[in-house]
Structure 1
Amino acid sequence: MKPHFPILDGLRGTAAILVVIFHLYEAKYIDYSIHPIHHGYLAVDFFFLLSGFVVGYAYDDRWAKMNVIDFFKIRLVRLHPLVTLGVILGGIGFWLDPYTNGFHNWGWLKLSGLVLLGFTLIPGPDVRGWGETHSLNGPCWSLLQEYLANIIYALVGRKMNKTALSILVTISGIALAVVAIYRNDIATGWSFETFWTGVTRMMFPFFAGLLLFRSGKLIKLKHAYILCSVALIVLLCLPHPKYNGLYEAACIILAFPLIVAAGAGGEVKGWLAKVCKFSGDLSYPIYILHYPFMYVYIGWFYKEKPADNMMFYVGAALFIFCIVLAYAALKLYDEPIRNWLKQKLSKNKEVEQVIG
């Protein structure tokens, strides 16, 4: 088995926690220029960069013993059990949410159909009026982009040499910068209106991560986990500058690759290594499972208009709940399901090792 990059696991956990806190504050601060975590949505772009690096590391040298179908099976086993659970939680939450009256407006038959459609990650009806492509569980929009990135990698990206990949990354980076500067932010891609920008938002970081892995240009840095986590937090929390789109493009194109290079090149031991593993293990379930509860929280905030101290207590309780839920889902559902699927779908030792 290949060794892992524990610091990258830890950084994924740092980004996932920032996403949850960002969404908790989003109930009150719709204007990101006054939001405490001004650029929290950039965690998604950081996830894409990490994913490209890790996919290259995990699969680039296995194609002699693995075909495209095997790769797709592996990725489905890794990602889709929690996608399914997140959509189910989103459906139940919409059904029971007292602030949307989802059951009365849709009924169980239509809602069941919406849940089944959600399992496929195909964009579905906007049931909340927010314009979301995945309105039972908003973060699923980024999983659709992740799957698209994996498809492009399997069909084309894995065959690209460094020159061709560098050209793709350069063109994608220019497109990303143009979108960010034109909008003056990169908080886009999750709605029907901006769906195409989600592709733009995915292409550069994912394939830049792949290129970073293949280049092997890592940065040796003492205390890399702490320093990289602090850098990520600072970048996401800095106030909006005048040219915010340029700043966010620079974060994705320049700063995030440096953070990943330092994280991959660093070492961690002792209790910090355990922290990295724990937060890395929880990062994906936290990210994909927390938002169905945010819908209810946001509805509660707008209807009840709670005082700041009450919002803090409820938000803190919801944050802890999301952590506990993520751990329970990982241990009681995701890992057992993946182990079962691995046994059912693996047809050779190489694929079984990769899934594991």
Structure 2
Amino acid sequence: MSQPDTRIQPKQHFEILDGLRGVAAMMVVIFHVCETWNGGDHARQIINHGYLAVDFFFMLSGFVVAYAYDDRWQPANGRQRMTLWDFFKRRIIRLQPMVIMGNLLGALLFYLSASPKIFPLVATTPVSRLILITLIGCTVIPIPISMDIRGWQEMHPLAGTAWSLFFEYIANIAYALGLRRASNRVLVVFAALSAAALTHYLVTTPRGDITGGWSVNAMELKVGFLRLLYPFLAGMLVQRMHKRLHVRNAFLWCSLLLVLTFALPRFGTPATLWKNGLYEALIIILVYPVIVAMGAGEQINGRTATRLCRFSGAISYPLYITHYALIYIYTAKVYDGKLTPAQGVGWGVALFFTSIAIAYACLKLYDEPLRRWLNKRFLLTGVTTT
């Protein structure tokens, strides 16, 4: 008698969503380059709301995880299709290689960012401590502020953007342990409560925006969870409730709308920060689900557009996790007065394209080959991760 076929078949990729993830990642790089020149004052920034890309990423993650795994927990031919351990192995294989690369690259370039004005701890950090922080960072475990080696109190001082991967892992654990079993009605209640909490924070915070989440203290962790909860739940609901919006040229319109949400000027004044907070709440709660539904509702047309979406989607994660090693160096040069504004533009453009080149090299020479090997070695079903 033949054995039941328990292989999990690969699923369709939403190429427009892949492309949008790439657009958002590139905007993050531009945002960080621009941010260097205004001391973090978003009221004077060209890409005012570029940090909202993280909230968009969390929503995409909720959608993709629900699409890829919701039906894999059900029995098939009398056997369970996927266990908790199977799920965790898949997510670790998908996420962890680039977390490691981001920290290794950050460690390699660490001392090039020494600056008495902006990174006062770099020059005095011994190699032994750098190695310790690198090893911890490769696990995605956050470090406490007392172990900071840069001066920005980041939970991942070698790969600054890895803070969102810490929350990404928390979302994946929550999904596997409970959210996957929750009914749509329960998810709607949770999403509504998290949306209310997000809105309350944004219209009352003295920051006037949703920035934060990258330090291990009470306030930053609160912000991190507020940024994670609603987007991830909303992404799950868009998928589960089969919300699809059919719009011609969806990739173009979604890209323009996404960039617009990042680039609009800051709203309100120092006395009316709630206006900007309300804007960001509306974008996260209402606009981003619409963009995801539009991106999921259409297929890309044309060979060139398809290749563009696939390329930008493929490099999006490597780009996001590795580019900040260069931002540290760029920031040090700016604050130490080594670049004029005109030179800064040229260096910023060079940084953008260098970041893309590094991301592509990491993808092709490291991430994809390593994940293929890990899939064959540890996933007996023989299916690549999503």
Range class of TM-score, shorter chain: over 0.9
**Aligned runs of 1:127-146 on 2, under 5 Å?**
127-146=149-168
1:101/1:263 CA distance change after superposition, 3 Å: same
Q: Is the Cα contact below 8 Å between 2:254 and 2:295 reproduced in 1?
A: yes
Which structure 2 residue ranges, 5 or more long, are not aligned? 1-9, 75-80, 269-274
Instruction: For 1:177 and 1:131, locate their aligned partners in 2 and report how far apart those are by CA, in whole Å.
Output: 26
Q: Is the Cα contact below 8 Å between 2:122 and 2:149 reproduced in 1?
A: no
Instruction: For 2:48 and 2:315, locate their aligned partners in 1 and report how far apart those are by CA, in whole Å.
Output: 24
Q: Is the Cα contact below 8 Å between 1:89 and 1:292 reproduced in 2?
A: yes
- 2:35 paired residue among 23, 26, 42: 26
Partner of 1:264: 296
Partner of 1:334: 367
Instruction: For 2:120 and 2:212, locate their aligned partners in 1 and report how far apart those are by CA, in whole Å.
Output: 28
Q: Is the Cα contact below 8 Å between 1:188 and 1:198 reproduced in 2?
A: yes
Residue 225 (structure 1) shift: 0.2
Instruction: For 2:153 and 2:280, locate their aligned partners in 1 and report how far apart those are by CA, in whole Å.
Output: 23
Q: Give per-residue Cα distances to partners, 1:156-178, cap 9 Å, x unaligned.
A: 01000111111111111111111
Q: Is the Cα contact below 8 Å between 2:121 and 2:151 reproduced in 1?
A: no
More displaced stretch, 300-309 vs 61-70: 300-309
Instruction: For 1:355 and 1:235, locate their aligned partners in 2 and report how far apart those are by CA, in whole Å.
Output: 31
**Aligned runs of 1:1-356 on 2, under 5 Å?**
1-29=10-38, 30-64=40-74, 65-99=81-115, 100=119, 104-124=123-143, 125-183=147-205, 184-193=208-217, 194-242=220-268, 243-270=275-302, 271-347=304-380, 349=381, 352-355=382-385
Residue 98 (structure 1) shift: 4.1
Q: Give per-residue Cα distances to partners, 1:3-40, cap 9 Å, x unaligned.
A: 11100000000100000000001110221011000000
Q: Give per-residue Cα distances to partners, 1:56-88, cap 9 Å, x unaligned.
A: 110011013001111010000001000000011
Say which one has the larger Rg: 2
Q: How many residue pairs align between the two structures?
A: 353
Q: Which amino acid aligns with 1:119?
A: C
Structure having the higher helix fraction is: 1
Residue 306 (structure 1) shift: 2.1
Q: Is the Cα contact below 8 Å between 2:48 and 2:266 reproduced in 1?
A: yes
Residue 131 (structure 1) shift: 2.1
Q: Which amino acid aligns with 1:213?
A: Q
Q: Is the Cα contact below 8 Å between 1:20 and 1:290 reproduced in 2?
A: yes
Q: Which amino acid aligns with 1:176?
A: L
Instruction: For 1:103 and 1:44, locate their aligned partners in 2 and report how far apart those are by CA, in whole Å.
Output: 27
Which structure 1 residue ranges, 5 or more long, are not aligned? none
Instruction: For 1:45 and 1:177, locate their aligned partners in 2 and report how far apart those are by CA, in whole Å.
Output: 14
More displaced stretch, 132-141 vs 89-98: 89-98
Partner of 2:7: none
Identity %: 45
Residue 144 (structure 1) shift: 0.3
Instruction: For 2:374 and 2:56, locate their aligned partners in 1 and report how far apart those are by CA, in whole Å.
Output: 29
Residue 95 (structure 1) shift: 3.3
Match of 2:125, SS? helix
Q: Which amino acid aligns with 2:223?
A: T
Residue 308 (structure 1) shift: 1.7
Please give the TM-score of this superposition, normalised by the length of structure 2: 0.89
